[in-house]
Amino acid sequence: MSILTTERAALLRLQIEFGADEAILEAPVNRYRVPAQTAPTPAPVPPAANTPVPPAASAPTRPAADEPTLPARRPPASAPGLPSQSAAMASARDLAAGASDLAALALAIRAFDGSSLKFTATNLVFADGSPEAPSMWIGEAPGADEDRQGKPFVGVSGQLLDRMMAAIGLDRRSAYITNILPWRPPGNRKPTPAEAEVFHPFLERHITLVRPKLIVLVGGTAATAVLKRPEGITRIHGRWFTYELGDAPVPTIAIFHPAYLLRQPALKREAWRDLLAIKERLAAT
């Protein structure tokens, strides 16, 4: 493979990671057949005296038969009229409450039309791993790789999370992984507080159905959504909190998101201490 081809492939992958995964037009356009712009018509020379002026030629009203034309761009598909925030949350609570198991909960999320994220994502990203596992790991939202595969944490940051879990003896067969949002935000952007709030009833029901012995919140966005605390991840990571699950409080800890660690590798020492705390608590359960 030539160097030029390799650079083009790397550029395409980068554009996909940035969310540019759709073509502007629905059909390719051969730019070599698009007619070049003609030079501007020179200003007319005034006719000499007593010279009759010929009648002006009328401009053509439509292109010639052999002139290529660009395809008309269709307007982007839009989501149906969305309900208000309060109505969407009421609908989410009703759908979540009616889910008696995880399969029913996944169907309820698919049926929920209270967020536009459903209409811009490709796949529902529900969960991965074993729901019987003692620990439940909750991230923030799917990215481009997760959206394509329909599983949480399968991209570059997911590979680092796998290595972090393996360091304390866990894998996707001995842990359960999900997100606070089941649909990918466009462009891999950070979930908004309103989006996290709308989907929170589904997350609460998810935790109730799994009934984990320990909850790990992966990243500041997940920690804020679940713990409802104003502090950032640098202040609360590694500290133990309690998630009230009926009459069985669940020990809960927040850790740095793998994507954050990739940007701030100096924090991996602190992340390792947090992982050791999780390992110690799991051994005591």
Report the pLDDT value the prediction gives residue 31, as an integer from 0 to 100: 58
Place of tokens 């390719």: 28
Name the residue ranges covered by the structural domains of the chain: 85-284
pLDDT in tens, 245-285: 888 899 999 999 999 999 999 999 999 999 999 999 999 98
Check whether 119 has a pLDDT greater than 70: yes
Lowest-pLDDT range of 65-69, 108-112, 242-246: 65-69
pLDDT in tens, 200-213: 999 999 999 999 99
CB atoms within 10 A of CB 281: 17
Report the pLDDT value the prediction gives residue 60, as an integer from 0 to 100: 47
What per-residue string of b and e applies to 122-148 under the rule 16 or more CB within 10 Å gives b? eebbbbbbeeebebbbbbbbbbbbbbb
The better pLDDT of the pair 53, 96 is held by 96
The pLDDT mean for the chain works out to: 84
The better pLDDT of the pair 15, 117 is held by 117
pLDDT in tens, 139-162: 999 999 999 999 999 999 999 999
pLDDT in tens, 25-69: 556 666 556 555 555 555 555 555 555 545 544 444 444 444 344
Check whether 10 has a pLDDT greater than 70: no
Report the pLDDT value the prediction gives residue 161, as an integer from 0 to 100: 97
Protein fold of 85-284? Uracil-DNA Glycosylase, subunit E (3.40.470)
DSSP 88: H
Segment 213-230 shows an average pLDDT of 96
Report the pLDDT value the prediction gives residue 8, as an integer from 0 to 100: 72
Report the pLDDT value the prediction gives residue 27, as an integer from 0 to 100: 63
DSSP the chain: --HHHHHHHHHHHHHHHTT--S-SSSS---TTSSPPPPPPPPPPPPPPTTPPPPPPPPPPSS--TTS--PPPPPPPP-PPPPPPHHHHHHHHHHHHHT--SHHHHHHHHHH--S-THHHH-SS----EE-TTSSEEEEES---HHHHHHTSSS-SHHHHHHHHHHHTTT--TTSSEEEES-SSPPGGGPPPPHHHHHHHHHHHHHHHHHH--SEEEEESHHHHHHHH--SS-HHHHTT-EEEE--TTS-EEEEEE--HHHHHH-GGGHHHHHHHHHHHHHHHHH-
What per-residue string of b and e applies to 236-246 under the rule 16 or more CB within 10 Å gives b? bbbeebebebe
